[in-house]
Amino acid sequence: MTATILDGNALARKLRADFKTRAETLAARGTRPGLAVLLVGEDPASQVYVRNKVNACAQAGFHSEKITYPPDVEPAIVLARIAELNADPRIHGILVQLPLPGHFDSDALLKAIAPEKDVDGFHAENVGALMQGHPRFIPCTPYGVMKFFAEAGIDLKGKEAVILGRSNIVGKPMAMLLMQASATVTICHSQTRDLACHTRRADILVAALGKARFVTADMVRPGAVVIDVGINRLPDGKLCGDVDFAAVSEVASAITPVPGGVGPMTITMLLANTLEAAEREAG
Ligand code: NDP
């Protein structure tokens, strides 16, 4: 079997064209969607992510503000700026690029963002709303993964879904969304015994563990849909996912590539969340 490639770039282009139209409609009524991105420090990967987010906003016709701080900035200064952004009517979404330097309490900072502007969906209030099944914001990466299923017409009802990774930003919200779509969900992590025995049962396998080409063909049930969230840099500088793409695409029925799969969809769903926040605010 050769798997269908789930093309994140193509799906992102399609969704972003729709967002641009919706943003224009909203702007004509006096509201331009606005996103503020705060970056502390000089981590090269974070700088690239922030640049991509700001560029994506510009292309979709959104207002955006990039606010940068040196790595040794006092947390109180960043908190004060978040308070200003919470009250700024031009800003509908606020995002703090993670990870933060060690002297920051990340939880305290994320809690300082007004829940109705928390476009990453990391505020405890929004996590709770997602858990209760009426989300205000869905965290961008799992939101993007759900769009792949919808676009490809993959019915999740009754399916065995196995997730590798239990982080707050990917694994846990992914599990919640798949469960709400009536899949039967298993979450695996670093302490899971006999991981392959779980992965081989999966109709839907989501790899989000951050280990290059960890998922091999013998771990995948023939015909499974494989979503590769991982982004890993190889010694030669190239990017690869958590899945051995070449071998697994001979076994799976559908698979996301890295790059060009989940990555572009994550930024796309950040635009979606910002737009939805602006639309809500504009009534
Ligand atoms: P974290 O490091 O926060 O979590 C990794 C998870 O994987 C943990 O739950 C960990 O288990 C689990 N894990 C680690 N090793 C194993 C193993 N050998 N077997 C089973 N489980 C294991 O990572 P994130 O969730 O933040 O990110 C995961 C990957 O996704 C990374 O490569 C990241 O770069 C990428 N990513 C990609 C995005 C995109 O847009 N494409 C967005 C966000 C992340 P335990 O809890 O026991 O430690």
The answer to whether residues 205 and 227 touch, using CB atoms and an 8 Å cutoff, is: yes
pLDDT (0 to 100) of residue 283: 87
Cα of 12 vs centre of ligand 1, distance in Å, is 23
Q: DSSP E strands: which ranges in the chain? A: 4-5, 34-40, 63-69, 93-96, 160-164, 184-188, 204-207, 225-228, 232-233, 239-240, 254-255
Residue 1 pLDDT greater than 90, yes or no: no
Task: Kindly list the protein residues whose Cβ atom lies closer than 6 A to any atom of ligand 1.
Answer: 141, 164-167, 169-171, 188-192, 195, 208-211, 229-232, 262-263, 266
Encoded tokens for 276: 């939805």
pLDDT in tens, 50-86: 999 999 999 999 999 999 999 999 999 999 999 999 9
Cα of 242 vs centre of ligand 1, distance in Å, is 9
Question: What are phi and psi for residue 77, nearest 5 degrees?
Answer: -70, -40
pLDDT in tens, 7-26: 999 999 999 999 999 999 99
Residues labelled catalytic: 53, 97, 120
Instruction: Tell me the domains of the chain and their CATH numbers.
Output: 31-114 (3.40.50.10860), 140-263 (3.40.50.720)
pLDDT in tens, 195-249: 999 999 999 999 999 999 999 999 999 999 999 999 999 999 999 999 999 999 9
d(CA 224, CA 222): 6
Query: Greater confidence, 283 or 13?
Result: 13
pTM: 0.97
| Candidate of 106, 166, 167 to mutate for ligand 1, largest count of ligand atoms within 8 Å of Cβ | 167
d(CA 34, CA 19): 13
